[in-house]
Structure 1
C-alpha cells in the first residue's frame, strides 16, 4: 500500500491506497493563514501540525505504507536554515508583494527578512519532506518550476541569488530518503517508509485523474481552476502564460492556473446552500447576466492581467440567476483556456477529465460538459493525495511508468455526455468581447476563440498534426 499527502491552501489531506486503487484510510486537517490586502502568508509550523493530524487519521487502522510522496501548492516558498527549520513565514502562491514566478519571490524573501548565509529556499512540500526525513533533501523539478528551474536545461535561473540558496533538484518519483524515528512518533507513519519526490498539487490531481497519455487533459476546479494536459514535447508559449512540467515518464505536462472558480461563489454567497442553488440554477440556462468570476484581483490564465477584476454584465433576476451566471462564467473561462491551448498548437480534443471539489456538484459537472460541448470523465476518487500515492508506488518500483501505476490505481466513476445545443455561444462571445474591450485578452486569442466558435473543428498551428495522438483512449469500467 502507498501513501499520499496533499498540502492545500485550506487543508492538508492524506490517503493510504492499495496497489489496485482502493482507498483504505484518509485524514485531513484544516489550515489557516494571514490575508491582508495583497499579503497571503501561512505558518510552516502549522503545515507540520496538520500533516501529523491528517497522517495519524489516515493510519488509524494500523496500515503500513511502503512509500509516500507529498504535493503542495505551486509557487509557495519560504526560507529555512540548513537543518530545515523555518526562518520566515511562507509566502503563498498568490501573495502579491513579490513577482509571481521565477527567482523574484526568493529574492524578495531574502531582502525582506535578511536571513543571512544559512538561508535556503524551500517549497511547501520540501519543508514537510525535510521534517519527515530529519534532514534537508532535494526538491523535485515540478515544485522548482516557479522558482526559476528550467527542466529542459536542468538548471535554475539565478539572477542575484547567493550561491547555495537554491536546493538540488531531482525528477518526480525519485526515492529521496526514509521517514525518521522522530517523525514516525509524531505522524504515525512507520519509520523507514520510503519518501519519494513529489509534484505540485495540479500535477498530483492530474495523476489522480489518470490523464497521462499524450493528448489527454485534466481540469481541476476548486477554489480556482487549473487545466493540465500531456504533450510529447514542451508547449511553447511566448507570453509565458502556459508552463510545462516534466513528468517522471519523460512526457511534458503543460497547463495553467486561472483565478476563476469556487472562491468567487463563496465570496458572492458566503452562507449559501450550494445544492439548493444548483437545483434552482437549472432554470437559467443561459443566465440573465454574464460573469467573469475571479476570486481575487489578477488573472494568470488564459491571459496575464494583474489588473483584472471580476465583473458581471447585466442584472440577475434572482439569487439563483446570479448563482447560475457564476457557474456558467467559470465554464466559459474553462472553454477560453482550451481555446488558448489550441491556439498554441496543443492537442486538445483528447480525453478530458474533471477533478477537484467542484465534481461534488453533479449539476455543475453537467453544465461544464454542456458549455464545452464534449464528454468528460469523472474518476471515483480524484484527490491530489491519491495522485501522490500513485507516484509513490511508481517511485518504489511497483510499476515501470507513472502511467502504468495510474492505469492500475485510478478508478473511473462515470462519463458525462453533453445533450447538445449552442445555448452558451452568445454568453461566451459576450465574455470574450468584454475581456478584449477591457484590454486584458489579447486580440489573437479573442479572434481564435471566435473562429473556433464559428468553426468548431478548427485547430491551432499544430493541432491537426497532434489530433491523431489525442483520440485513442478507451473508457474503463467502474
Structure 2
C-alpha cells in the first residue's frame, strides 16, 4: 500500500487473475494510494466471495492511507469474458466461469455459430455467450452478469448494468447499442443479460455496502471496463495512433483509433472508449515462448548480454507450438526457430528480434484493415522492463517509445471516472 500525498478523488478497482487491486487518484490524475489483496488459492479466482473479500480489504487499506470523503466516483474492471449466474436475491449460484474456460456445451457453440454474424466476437470455444447459455441451466438462475458488473452492483446496492467493453464478447452490438436479435435465435433468454451502458457512464450513487467501506454517499458508481482496456487507459495513451503493447505470456496489441476495425479471421475486434475505438489483436508468441525455450533464470542472465546495436540477422517466428491467430491467421502455422546458433546469447537475442518483428507486423495488419498508422508505443507486462528489448523493438517499429504513466489496470479504471465525472 502506498501512503497518501493528496486527496483521493477517483477510485479504480481491478479484479484480476491473481487478486484484487485498487488505486485512488487525485483530481489531476496522480496516484494518491494503492492497495492489493492476493487470492489465497487458485480456486479463489472464480469465487465471487473471494472477489468481494478483496474489494473489502483494498478499500479498507485505501481508507487507512487517505480520507475517502472526497471521492467523487469509482469504476471496476474485470477479466474479459468471466461470467456468473445470480439467483432472485442477487446471490451468485456456484462459481463463475472464467474468461479462459472453454464452453462445454457443443450445442450452445453450434447455435451461436449458426446465428451470429461472421465477424462477431461472441464466436469461439471460450465464448462468454456460450458460457452464459451454460449458466442459464443452473437451477434458480434469473440473471447473468460479467465479473465487473457484479462487483459494481454490490457497491451500488443492486445497480445491475454492464458496460460495452465487457458485453462485446457476449454478443452486444456496438453499432445499434443493444443486445441483437440473433442472440434469441440461439434459444437463449436475452432477458437474463443486463442492460448495457457506454464505458465510464455514471450509473448511480454507492449504496449501503459501499458506504460501509468508507465511500461517501455522493460517490457515483461508473460503468466499468475489461482488464485489457483498463491497462491501456492506465498508460496515459490518449491520441489516435497511440499503441500499447502488452509483453506478457502472449503478445497483445491495442491501438487507439477514430474508427472501429473488425477482422474475425485475425481475431481483430474493437472496443469503444468514449468517442474513440480500441482495435487490437493477440499473437500466440510472447513470454510463454521465452520461458519454454530458456527458463526464468536464464532469461534474466541473457538479458544482460543483449546487443541491440548489432542485430543477429536471424529470421525467427517464435511459437511454442504450431498455430497462429494474429498477425498471421493460420491454425497450422509452424514455429520458425532455425537455424539455432551455438551461442545462447545470440539465439536469445534472435528470438526477441523475432517477437519484435511480429509486433511490427501486427500494427501494420491493424492499419491494413482500416486502423490509423502507428504513431507511438507504450509497453506493459514483464517484458516492458527490458531496456535492451525495448531498443530492439523501437528499431523495428520506427516510432517513439513512450513511458507508461502506470501499468496498473486499476489506475485505468480510475481514469474512467476522471474522464466521465462532471467536476464541480
For Structure 1 versus Structure 2, the TM-score category normalised by the shorter chain is: 0.7 to 0.9
TM-score by structure 1 length? Answer: 0.72
- In structure 2, C-alpha distance between the alignment counterparts of 1:13 and 1:366, rounded to whole Å: 31
1:11 aligns with 2:11: no
Partners of 2:74 and 2:220 within 8 A in 1: yes
Which one of the candidate residues 202, 219, 236 is aligned to 1:175? 202
Partners of 2:327 and 2:365 within 8 A in 1: yes
- In structure 1, C-alpha distance between the alignment counterparts of 2:159 and 2:335, rounded to whole Å: 41
CA apart distance, 1:10: 2.6
Aligned to 2:188: 161
- In structure 2, C-alpha distance between the alignment counterparts of 1:289 and 1:329, rounded to whole Å: 7
The DSSP-based 3-state class of the residue aligned with 1:312 is coil
Kindly provide the CA deviation profile for residues 328-351 of structure 1, in whole angstroms up to 9, marking residues without a partner as x.
333222112112112213222323
Which one of the candidate residues 122, 130, 155 is aligned to 1:102? 122
Alignment of 1:249-328 (within 5 A): 250-272=275-297, 274-282=299-307, 285-286=311-312, 290-293=316-319, 299-305=324-330, 312-315=337-340, 317=342, 319-328=344-353
Structure 1 window deviating more from structure 2 (282-291 vs 168-177): it is 282-291
1:51 aligns with 2:55: yes
1:332 aligns with 2:352: no
> Which ranges of structure 2 fall in alignment gaps of 5 or more residues?
1-8, 110-119
Aligned to 2:403: 378
Task: Kindly tell me the number of residue pairs found equivalent between the two proteins.
Answer: 392
- In structure 2, C-alpha distance between the alignment counterparts of 1:45 and 1:274, rounded to whole Å: 37
Partners of 1:342 and 1:348 within 8 A in 2: yes
CA apart distance, 1:192: 4.6
Which one of the candidate residues 256, 261, 264 is aligned to 1:230? 256
Partners of 2:255 and 2:280 within 8 A in 1: yes
> In the superposition, relative to structure 1, how do residues 31 and 293 fare at CA in structure 2: closer, same or farther (>3 Å)?
farther
> In the superposition, relative to structure 1, how do residues 275 and 20 fare at CA in structure 2: closer, same or farther (>3 Å)?
farther
CA apart distance, 1:316: 5.0
Structure 1 window deviating more from structure 2 (132-141 vs 230-239): it is 230-239
> In the superposition, relative to structure 1, how do residues 160 and 133 fare at CA in structure 2: closer, same or farther (>3 Å)?
same
> In the superposition, relative to structure 1, how do residues 307 and 80 fare at CA in structure 2: closer, same or farther (>3 Å)?
farther
- In structure 1, C-alpha distance between the alignment counterparts of 2:328 and 2:211, rounded to whole Å: 44
CA apart distance, 1:269: 4.8
The DSSP-based 3-state class of the residue aligned with 1:150 is coil
Partners of 2:121 and 2:269 within 8 A in 1: no
1:140 aligns with 2:166: no
CA apart distance, 1:162: 1.3
Aligned to 2:33: 25
TM-score by structure 2 length? Answer: 0.80
Which one of the candidate residues 42, 52, 77 is aligned to 2:46? 42
The DSSP-based 3-state class of the residue aligned with 2:406 is coil
Which one of the candidate residues 175, 199, 218 is aligned to 1:152? 175
Aligned to 1:114: 137
